[in-house]
Structure 1
Amino acid sequence: MPGTSPDRWSRVWRERLPDDPLDVVHAEPAAAVAAVLAGDVDAAVLRLPPAPADGAALTPPPGLPTTTPTTRDGWAVVPLWTETTVVVVPADHVLTVLDEVDVADLAGETLLVPADDVLGWTPAGVDVVEVPDAATGADLVASGAGLLVVPHAIARLHDRRGTTVRPVPDAPGSRLALVWRTDAEHPHAQELVGIVRGRTAGSSRGDATVATGAGRGTGRDGRSGRDGRGGDAPPPRRTGRPTPRTPGRGDGRPRGGGGRRTR
């Protein structure tokens, strides 16, 4: 699905199982569960809805499958990592003076909410404008029409010139998991689990079918810490509240906060 990069997994698979090719099929997140149920694929990497803090039933956002796989319903669900949520802002926006953004900092802003939203979360105090998809939202951010709140990998996928991102640590993260139907488990399913979790060929496979509580701090290749590809990293130290940009600097960058510019 968009925002994942299975090339490394495919390379390791070819090394370990050269006689059994791994076919990678790209699909929209909302179609992943249906593809497994239809038998079009043996397993899928998909996003799960953010876990509700009060234990209420999960309500999938519009960009995710209407049915959330659970072990109670005959699915194997292997948590992979929880991806940090970021806000995409114009490069000269006042929020760029911060290394990270609190949810409260978003109040009063115009928030672009795509029809393929995978978070299902809107901060309080924002003006919501619905847009067709995340790609359109990124284009509108570049034009100064508003801000976009998405998982980090989605922001990278739709990177635009003139925009930058800042993590929002207190926003819900996007949980990713590997799933398949237990009544149609492929003989190499456990081998795939080991590969996506970064285990070596000789390591113990352990119990792959676990609940859907993915934890923060796990990188895309199964290792903890900063992996540079969408896994959570230790949040940078906050440098202060946003302050207006001082004109006349000449390089287009705001004075004051010293946050690193990224795209």
Structure 2
Amino acid sequence: MAKGRSGGRQPRRDAAPRRRQGSQGSAAPRPQRTPRPSPGPAPAAPREPVVAEPSTFRLGAIPGATPGKWIDVWKERMPRTALELVPLSVAGQREALDEAEADAALVRLPIDDHGLHVIPLYDEVPVVVCAKDSHLTAADELEPGDLEGEVLIVPQDDVLGIRIPATVPPRFDPPSDTAEAIATVAAGVGIVVVPMSLARLHHRKDVEHRALRGGPVSTVALAWVADRTTPAVETFVGIVRGRTANSSRG
């Protein structure tokens, strides 16, 4: 059988076509791709400034004030902020707030409230303090008329400004404070009229006290400088007003 011109071989129909060559006979170069720079770390989001709570809340308190129950609640709600009790005199209560000796204070009214926030808390009834063997102890309550002829001692730190008709002024200089006045009463000289809490504060075994019906009351209030209303002050205000920890301010 005769062979073809190509020597008997037939071209393969499935052969891959040859690549076209350039003018130099080599494959056409592929275009170069510029590499992209690798992205750096994402910038950190700005942090909100952290406002540190004060380490101590200073609560001023005039003699006779009893903030114990409120202090207990404060310790539960504000364990990271200690409450420091700052003793105040009634005469110096306004100055202590002005000079920032206390962040807030339990004060006795009246007080010059210019520039202050003042929240009345409770009223105290007046009592008559007398010697234990005084005839005044025979009654459970007294009226101003029962004090006729009694020597009324008014100490220099008097908070009631009480004047009872038909009483007798002492023949000695007024004592410097309530404690000294009650000590004088214990010796059998005169009587003293003070708010109930002061009678309890300066209680002695040789004196008694009886409520004075119709006498002037003494109001205890919470006060602080309006321009220094801090979150700690607002928390204490909520406590004395009986708000729960989750209640809104109002």
Q: Same fold (TM over 0.5)?
A: yes
The 5 A counterparts of 1:56-95 are 68-70=111-113, 73-95=114-136
SS in 1 for 2:194: strand
Partner amino acid, structure 1, of 2:230: H
SS in 1 for 2:169: strand
Measured after TM superposition, the shift of residue 178 of structure 1 is 0.4
1:137 and 2:181 aligned? yes
Measured after TM superposition, the shift of residue 203 of structure 1 is 4.2
Structure 2 residues without counterparts, runs of 5 or longer: 1-61
Measured after TM superposition, the shift of residue 74 of structure 1 is 2.1
Partner amino acid, structure 2, of 1:157: L
Counterpart in 2 of 1:30?
91
Measured after TM superposition, the shift of residue 141 of structure 1 is 1.1
Counterpart in 1 of 2:164?
123
Counterpart in 2 of 1:157?
201
Task: State the superposition RMSD in angstroms.
Answer: 1.5
Counterpart in 1 of 2:241?
197
Measured after TM superposition, the shift of residue 69 of structure 1 is 3.0
Structure 2 Cα separation of the partners of residues 165 and 128 of structure 1: 20
Q: Paired residue for 2:73, among 8, 12, 17?
A: 12
Deviations 1:208-241 (A, max 9, x none): xxxxxxxxxxxxxxxxxxxxxxxxxxxxxxxxxx
User: Is this contact kept in 2: 1:109–1:127, CA < 8 A?
Assistant: yes
SS in 2 for 1:154: helix
Counterpart in 2 of 1:45?
106
Measured after TM superposition, the shift of residue 35 of structure 1 is 1.1
Measured after TM superposition, the shift of residue 205 of structure 1 is 4.1
Partner amino acid, structure 2, of 1:83: E
User: Is this contact kept in 2: 1:69–1:77, CA < 8 A?
Assistant: no
User: Quick one: structure 1 residues 123 and 98, their matched pair in 2 at CA, closer, same or farther if it must change by over 3 Å?
Assistant: same
Structure 1 residues without counterparts, runs of 5 or longer: 50-67, 207-263
Structure 2 Cα separation of the partners of residues 189 and 165 of structure 1: 36
User: Quick one: structure 1 residues 203 and 93, their matched pair in 2 at CA, closer, same or farther if it must change by over 3 Å?
Assistant: farther
Measured after TM superposition, the shift of residue 41 of structure 1 is 1.5
Counterpart in 2 of 1:230?
none
Measured after TM superposition, the shift of residue 30 of structure 1 is 1.5
Partner amino acid, structure 2, of 1:29: V
Structure 2 Cα separation of the partners of residues 23 and 12 of structure 1: 14
Flag the structure with more relative contact order, 1 or 2, with Cα contacts below 8 A and sequence separation at least 6. 1
Counterpart in 2 of 1:209?
none
Q: Paired residue for 1:146, among 190, 201, 218?
A: 190
Structure 2 Cα separation of the partners of residues 7 and 42 of structure 1: 17
Percent identical across equivalent pairs? 42
The 5 A counterparts of 1:249-260 are none
SS in 2 for 1:40: coil
Aligned residues, how many? 186
Q: Paired residue for 1:168, among 200, 203, 212?
A: 212
User: Is this contact kept in 2: 1:96–1:166, CA < 8 A?
Assistant: yes
User: Quick one: structure 1 residues 69 and 186, their matched pair in 2 at CA, closer, same or farther if it must change by over 3 Å?
Assistant: farther
Measured after TM superposition, the shift of residue 132 of structure 1 is 2.0
Partner amino acid, structure 2, of 1:105: D
Look at both structures and tell me which one has the larger radius of gyration over its CA atoms. Answer: 2
Partner amino acid, structure 2, of 1:121: I
Partner amino acid, structure 2, of 1:114: P
Structure 1 Cα separation of the partners of residues 100 and 121 of structure 2: 23
